[in-house]
């Protein structure tokens, strides 16, 4: 049996063109390579798992390639490319500053900088999580960064740009990596699923993308996990919901609908059902707040792009948003956030959330949103 290779490794992009959602960076790097205007020090900033190390490795491979393509991509076939692909190149040095942050670690690295490459043009030094270097290590490194030999290129990567000293910032060309959009991620997962012979419901992949919160590595690990649990290599929305322990969007839509109708009994019943499914009250309130926030954002064509949900879900939001007035959402958000803040201190947490729902339903009642005049007495006012 073949060894299982996790998708994040198996599908690590080998070309600039296959990097997802960072074209502002890959295009700039390719232009710099083409016009021979490459900086000697880069700082790659951005969240975890969005392609910083991947781009650093592609850059290293590309600038050493003996047969660059017109688009400034590595050929993948020359001796240098092959040695990069087999992790056997002597022209790339990676230091993970999270676990090697001492002066000695950085000295070892600096020592190697003195020797020019034996083959190929450039030696590339990648320092991951560079903000973790100790102050003395930083200082030792600074000198090399000031006057690097012409064949040396430094790529510093960090998830915490604000922790980087100004002396380093001013010496680097800075690239800010994006969180990956849900649509890009879903598309990427769908491609991988197809290659792996996995039938995946689009909603299931969107759910994974949503939960990954912008990080592609996380999305790929969740994808692998769900494939392991799946039967006959089929990824279904309902199963992914279960595996990732996510509360279905539908509950928030239904809850909002009941609130807008001031239907307290329905809100209580729904909340009870949610608890019985194993979700806790706090998780639910936080989710409901996010839901209201999305409804609010949907009200304005300018802010609607702040929504981080798939297209199909966005359509549902737009519909519900039209029936939820601004004044209701503003008050409900304020009631919900105080419920969130006081949740831990509450003695009876279920009742605490129920009171919050009651207040929200009451707002709808006061605003006269309940559309059924005949049943007005059924609502909160009774
Ligand atoms: N933009 C992307 N396009 C395609 N695949 C990606 C992208 N970002 C991440 N991946 C996938 O996730 C894996 C990890 O990405 P990478 O190591 O480049 O992330 P990183 O930004 O350096 O994260 P960290 O800050 O945690 O080191 C890659 O092997 C690849 O499979
Ligand atoms: Zn090559």
CA of 7 to the centre of ligand 2 (A): 24
What's residue 382's pLDDT? Answer: 39
What's residue 375's pLDDT? Answer: 41
Residues 87 and 144 in one domain: yes
Residues 320 and 338 in one domain: yes
What's residue 356's pLDDT? Answer: 97
What's residue 371's pLDDT? Answer: 58
Which residue's C-alpha comes closest to atom 16 of ligand 1?
51
Q: Which atom of ligand 1 lies nearest, measured to the CA of 46? A: 21
Residues 41 and 104 in one domain: yes
What's residue 379's pLDDT? Answer: 43
Ligand 1 binding pocket includes 52 (Cβ within 6 Å): yes
Cα angle: 122, vertex 64, 161; to 5 degrees: 65
> Where do the H-state alpha helices sit in 149-236?
166-169, 182-195, 202-212, 216-229
Partners of 234 in the β-ladder: 199, 231
Residues 295 and 270 in one domain: yes
CA distance 64 to 14: 14
Ligand 1 binding pocket includes 185 (Cβ within 6 Å): no
Cα angle: 328, vertex 329, 332; to 5 degrees: 85
Q: What residue numbers bound the domain in which 128 lies?
A: 7-176
Ligand 1 binding pocket includes 179 (Cβ within 6 Å): no
Residues contacting residue 311 through CB under 8 Å, at least 6 positions apart: 183
Residues 343 and 227 in one domain: no
Asked whether residue 1 is assigned to any structural domain, the reply reads: no
CA of 71 to the centre of ligand 2 (A): 13
CA of 171 to the centre of ligand 2 (A): 29
What's residue 140's pLDDT? Answer: 86
What's residue 231's pLDDT? Answer: 85
What's residue 232's pLDDT? Answer: 87
Asked whether residue 158 is assigned to any structural domain, the reply reads: yes
Ligand 1 binding pocket includes 215 (Cβ within 6 Å): no
Asked whether residue 231 is assigned to any structural domain, the reply reads: yes
Residue-wise pLDDT for 136-171, tens only, equals 888 888 888 888 999 999 999 999 999 998 888 999
Residues 131 and 202 in one domain: no
User: In which residue ranges of the chain is pLDDT below 70?
Assistant: 1-2, 370-382
Ligand 1 binding pocket includes 155 (Cβ within 6 Å): no
CA of 5 to the centre of ligand 2 (A): 25
Residues contacting residue 34 through CB under 8 Å, at least 6 positions apart: 72
What's residue 369's pLDDT? Answer: 75
Pairing, β 41-45 against β 152-158: parallel
What's residue 377's pLDDT? Answer: 42
Counting ligands in written order, which one lies closest to the CA of residue 68?
A: 2
Domain end position, chosen among 223, 243, 263:
243
Helix axes 326-342, 349-366, angle to 10 degrees: 160
Q: 111 and 138 in contact (C-beta within 8 Å)?
A: no
Residues 164 and 148 in one domain: yes
Domain end position, chosen among 199, 227, 243:
243
Distances (CA, A) of 295 to 104, 248, 301, 321, 364: 54, 16, 12, 5, 15
Pocket test for ligand 1, best of 17, 23, 53, 185 (most atoms within 8 A of CB): 53
Asked whether residue 129 is assigned to any structural domain, the reply reads: yes
Domain end position, chosen among 138, 153, 176:
176
Q: What is the DSSP letter of 344?
A: T
What's residue 380's pLDDT? Answer: 47
Side-chain half-sphere of 290: how many Cα atoms within 13 Å? 14
CATH code of 34's domain:
3.40.50.300
What's residue 110's pLDDT? Answer: 87
What's residue 381's pLDDT? Answer: 42
CATH code of 191's domain:
1.10.8.60
Per the structure, the count of domains in the chain is 3
Residues 13 and 161 in one domain: yes
């Amino acid at each position: 049996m073949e060894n299982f290779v996790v998708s994040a490794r198996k599908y690590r992009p080998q070309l600039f063109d296959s990097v997802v959602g960072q074209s502002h960076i890959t295009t700039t790097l390719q232009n710099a390579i083409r016009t021979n205007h490459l900086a000697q020090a880069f700082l790659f900033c951005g969240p975890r798992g969005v392609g910083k190390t991947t781009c650093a490795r592609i850059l290293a491979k590309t600038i050493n390639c003996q047969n660059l393509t017109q688009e400034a991509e590595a050929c993948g076939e020359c001796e240098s490319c092959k040695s990069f692909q087999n992790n056997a190149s002597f022209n790339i040095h990676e230091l993970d500053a999270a676990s090697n942050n001492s002066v000695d670690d950085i000295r070892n690295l600096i020592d190697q900088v003195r020797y020019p490459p034996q083959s190929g043009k450039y030696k590339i030094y990648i320092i991951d999580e560079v903000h973790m270097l100790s102050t003395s290590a930083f200082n030792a490194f600074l000198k090399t960064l000031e006057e690097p030999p012409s064949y040396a290129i430094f790529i510093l990567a960090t998830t915490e740009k604000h922790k980087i000293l100004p002396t380093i910032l001013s010496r680097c060309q800075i690239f800010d990596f994006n969180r990956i959009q849900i649509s890009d991620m879903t598309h990427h997962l769908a491609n991988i699923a197809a290659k792996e012979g996995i039938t995946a419901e689009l909603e299931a992949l969107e759910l994974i993308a949503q939960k990954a919160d912008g990080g592609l590595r996380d999305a790929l690990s969740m994808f692998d996990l769900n494939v392991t649990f799946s039967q006959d290599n089929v990824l279904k929305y309902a199963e992914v919901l279960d595996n990732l322990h996510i509360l279905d969007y539908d509950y928030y839509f239904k809850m909002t609908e009941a609130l807008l109708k001031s239907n307290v009994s329905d809100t209580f019943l729904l909340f009870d059902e949610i608890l019985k499914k194993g979700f806790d009250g706090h998780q639910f309130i936080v989710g409901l707040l996010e839901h209201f926030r999305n409804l609010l954002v949907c009200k304005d064509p300018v802010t609607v792009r702040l929504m981080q949900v798939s297209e199909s879900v966005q359509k549902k939001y737009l519909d519900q948003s039209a029936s939820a007035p601004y004044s209701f959402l503003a008050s409900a958000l304020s009631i919900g956030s105080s419920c969130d803040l006081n949740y831990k201190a509450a003695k009876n947490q279920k009742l605490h959330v129920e009171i919050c729902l009651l207040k929200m339903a009451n707002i709808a009642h006061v605003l006269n949103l309940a559309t059924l005049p005949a049943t007005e007495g059924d609502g909160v006012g009774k």
